[in-house]
Amino acid sequence: MVEDLYYDDYPEAKAELIKAIERGRLPLLTQELNAYDCIQAIFELDAINNPKDEEDAFFDLALALIGWIPGPGHGLKILLRLINRAPQRHAEKLFDLIRHTLLACRLKTSPEQLLEKCLDPVRLAEELPEIIRGVSASTTFNGLTPQQQRLVLHNLNEACEHTDFLMVTVQERIAPWIAEQRNNSAAAHSRGPALQPKPQSSLEAGTPTINRAAQPETRDAARITRDVNQGMEQLTGEDHWLELNLHYPNLEPVSGAAYRVIFSDGSQAEGNLDEEGFARLEGIPPGPAKVYYGEDPRPYLRQPISALPANAQQLEEELEQLDLEPAEVDLATLLLETSQRKAPFTLIPVY
């Protein structure tokens, strides 16, 4: 029956669980997943026997801890894990993937803001006691031998004392990926648009307003080219104007976003949109213009990590919300699939 569940139900359940994590639902299953991932990372760290593998194992443990951050933590962990497997192919997509995670979590901020707040060693040190409580309450932890439980708790307590080291491990690993977002931005348009469209933009020319999804020319900016309104009949620059509007697909304005406009004569205008995601430029040169929008400047307000006590009934109810029969679920398989681990060691073999 477990085998039938795996092939028929688990992929769909995994997708639904990921959506639930992004939206803050199914908190106990989310905690079970994070605890499972931490325990696996600790077992791998304990099993390594050479410096190169140790570096990778510390990186993996740091990602497992980042995964506890409510909302985008799981998505950030997964995308960093995936890029790390083939950085030469996927590093340039880092910010695009982060934007996709932000959109899925309905967060309005920038990739830089998310990375800064999620890689904060002080905040991690403050919240590790909650992570330890969450791990200790998990079914995976309670299925371990006493010796294994001591190993897990020892490593988590050690992590409390070395959060700076763990976060620096991640920062150093992804630093070349971040640099690639900027170094390759000028040529990014030749490789196609971002994986996830940036906020929609509308340029108002005359009376009609034309809205269309922004197609980024660079990885860090959206681009739209439209004819500039020629205002009155005069052809002098004083009567030419351009209105900028930037909004998300749900029409919510992107307040304070930076913009840069390059006019046909080579001159430029820079500034920030107002609270309504709007700016009006007057006295501009006639002809087409290119408009570049920056990231959403709003700060990322990281939610606190809070451990839940063990609750078998709640766990069953959350599994049922995934259309799984609790009595027939191989929880370790579901957690392994959702964590997207490709590790050489697993606590519970999956056949």
Q: Is 173 left (phi over 0), alpha (psi -120 to 50) or beta?
A: alpha
Between the alpha carbon of residue 305 and those of residues 25, 134, 264, 297, the distances in Å are 14, 10, 51, 24
Asked if residue 232 and residue 165 are part of one domain, the reply reads no
> Is residue 316 one of the residues assigned to a domain?
no
Which residues contact residue 215 at a Cβ distance below 8 angstroms, ignoring those fewer than 6 apart?
193, 197, 222, 223, 224
Measuring CA to CA, which residue among 71, 79, 76, 67 is closest to residue 134?
A: 67
Domain that holds residue 210: 200-293
Task: Return the pLDDT at 186.
Answer: 32
Asked if residue 221 and residue 172 are part of one domain, the reply reads no
Residue 244 has phi, psi (to 5 degrees) of -110, 135
Asked if residue 27 and residue 103 are part of one domain, the reply reads yes
Q: What is the three-class DSSP state of 28?
A: helix
> Is residue 345 one of the residues assigned to a domain?
no
* Crossing angle between the packed helical segments 121-136 and 146-161, to the nearest 10 degrees: 170
Asked if residue 132 and residue 43 are part of one domain, the reply reads yes
pLDDT tens digits, residue range 227-249? 333 332 233 345 688 999 988 77
Relative to beta strand 268-272, strand 278-282 is unpaired
Task: Return the pLDDT at 9.
Answer: 66
> Is residue 195 one of the residues assigned to a domain?
no
- Per-residue pLDDT, averaged over 102-106, amounts to 90
Measuring CA to CA, which residue among 16, 32, 108, 106 is closest to residue 68?
A: 32
Asked if residue 214 and residue 151 are part of one domain, the reply reads no
> Is residue 282 one of the residues assigned to a domain?
yes
Asked if residue 132 and residue 239 are part of one domain, the reply reads no
Asked if residue 169 and residue 211 are part of one domain, the reply reads no
DSSP codes, 151-192 = HHHHHHHHHHH-HHHHHHHHHHHHHHHHHHHHHTGGGGGGG-
Higher pLDDT, 260 or 158: 158
> Is residue 308 one of the residues assigned to a domain?
no
**CATH number where 229 lies:** 2.60.40
Which residues contact residue 38 at a Cβ distance below 8 angstroms, ignoring those fewer than 6 apart?
61, 64, 65, 68, 131, 135, 152, 156
pLDDT tens digits, residue range 14-53? 899 999 999 999 999 999 999 999 999 999 999 998 887 8
How many domains does the chain fold into? Answer: 2
317 neighbors 285 (Cβ within 8 angstroms):
no
> Is residue 319 one of the residues assigned to a domain?
no
Q: Which helix (H) or strand (E) holds 272?
A: strand 268-272
Asked if residue 157 and residue 11 are part of one domain, the reply reads yes
pLDDT tens digits, residue range 289-301? 888 887 777 889 9
Between the alpha carbon of residue 317 and those of residues 5, 76, 314, the distances in Å are 18, 27, 5
231 neighbors 205 (Cβ within 8 angstroms):
no
Residue 73 has phi, psi (to 5 degrees) of -55, -45
213 pLDDT more than 50: no
Higher pLDDT, 211 or 132: 132
Assign 273 a pLDDT band (cuts: 50, 70, 90). confident
> Is residue 192 one of the residues assigned to a domain?
no
209 pLDDT more than 60: no
Asked if residue 99 and residue 222 are part of one domain, the reply reads no
Asked if residue 24 and residue 71 are part of one domain, the reply reads yes
Asked if residue 24 and residue 150 are part of one domain, the reply reads yes
- Let me know if 230 is exposed, middle or buried by CB neighbors in 10 A (0-12, 13-18, 19+): middle
> Is residue 300 one of the residues assigned to a domain?
no
Between the alpha carbon of residue 329 and those of residues 31, 46, 210, 334, the distances in Å are 17, 29, 51, 8
- Per-residue pLDDT, averaged over 86-113, amounts to 90
Asked if residue 178 and residue 130 are part of one domain, the reply reads yes
Q: Which helix (H) or strand (E) holds 261?
A: strand 258-263
214 neighbors 223 (Cβ within 8 angstroms):
yes
Share of the chain above pLDDT 70, in %: 78
Beta-ladder partners of 290: 225, 262
Share of the chain above pLDDT 90, in %: 52
